[in-house]
Amino acid sequence: MDNRGRLRTLLGSPLDPLRIAVMTSLTLRPATATELADELGSPVERVRYQLKQLRQAGLVGIRGQVERRGAVEHIYIAKSRQGIYTRNDLLEFPNWKQQKYGLSFLRVIFNEALEAARGGAFEGHDDYSVVRVPLRLDREGFDEISAIFESALRRLLDIREECLARMEETGEEPTSATSILLLFET
């Protein structure tokens, strides 16, 4: 399936937040259907259904098997860099669909942030960012900030790779975090 099909699978209707949640979890670490169901508080049948959709779209693969509670289960993993959504992915669709998927996408990411707020991610420490900068820019300024975001994304990819490599050695459990960077004309 091509990029277009993959994005349609993720954001198409009916939009199921569980699909995004499963996808995100697997981007962070491999897991079985049961583990995902426990983590996300969802019935395992629903999780299995989403895994099937995601596998068909080529977003998720199987890394191996494990025996748990007397049963053999697949270990699922997100395929390489899927999980990063950028504007270019949206461009493959006609304009009216771009808006529809764009709105779905915004809903998903802000729900994630709000859930984190409700879950206490913004309490008791200052290791987070919730920053909005209203901007009045010339063309060069807009380009410059865009380049700054691109560079931040590349750095984040490096940080992620380095973390995964270190954790493979130490066996340390990762903390899951989300970065959302938006630059748009109002």
Partner 1 sequence: MVDGSKKLAREKLAVAASPLRSAIATSLVLRPATAAELAAELDVPVEKVRYHLNRMRSAGLVDLCGKRRNGRVTENVYAADPRSFLIEAADAADLPSSQVAYVNARALKLMFREATAAMRAGTFAQRPETATIRFPLPLDEQGWLQAVELHRDLVEKIFEARDSSLRRMEKSGEKPILASAFVLFFERVTGDPRG
Applying CB under 8 A, does 32 fall inside the site for partner 1?
no
> Using the rule CB under 8 A, is 98 a contact of partner 1?
yes
In this structure, how many other beta carbons lie within 10 angstroms of the beta carbon of residue 27? 20
Which 8-state DSSP code applies to residue 31?
Answer: B
Q: Does 83 bind partner 1 (CB under 8 A)?
A: yes
3-state secondary structure of 121: coil
To the nearest whole angstrom, how small is the minimum distance from the Cβ of residue 52 to partner 1? Answer: 21
143, two tokens: 């380009």
- Residue 14 per-residue DSSP state: S
Pick the piece of the chain touching partner 1 (CB under 8 A) from 3-11, 47-55, 67-75, 81-89: 81-89
Residues in 114-173 that interact with partner 1 by CB under 8 A? 114-146, 148-150, 152-153, 155-156, 159-160, 162-164, 166-167, 170, 172
Of the pair 67, 88, the CB lying nearest partner 1 is at 88
Q: How far apart are CA 71 and CA 69, in angstroms?
A: 6
- Min CB(72)–partner 1 separation in Å: 25
Give the residue among 70, 62, 2 at the shortest CA–CA distance from 32. Answer: 62
Q: Does 174 bind partner 1 (CB under 8 A)?
A: yes
Binding status of residue 69 toward partner 1 by CB under 8 A: no
- Should residue 99 be labelled a site residue for partner 1 when binding is judged by CB under 8 A? yes
Q: Which is nearer to partner 1, 64 or 141 (CB)?
A: 141
Using rule CB under 8 A, residue 179 touches partner 1: yes
**By CB under 8 A, how many residues form the interface with partner 1?**
90
Question: In whole angstroms, how large is the CA radius of gyration of the chain?
Answer: 18
- Distance between CA atoms of 79 and 54, rounded to whole angstroms? 10
Rounded to whole angstroms, how far apart are CA atoms 56 and 30?
A: 18
The structure tokens listed for 154 are 């590349």
**Residues 28, 51, 54, 57: which binds partner 1 (CB under 8 A)?**
28
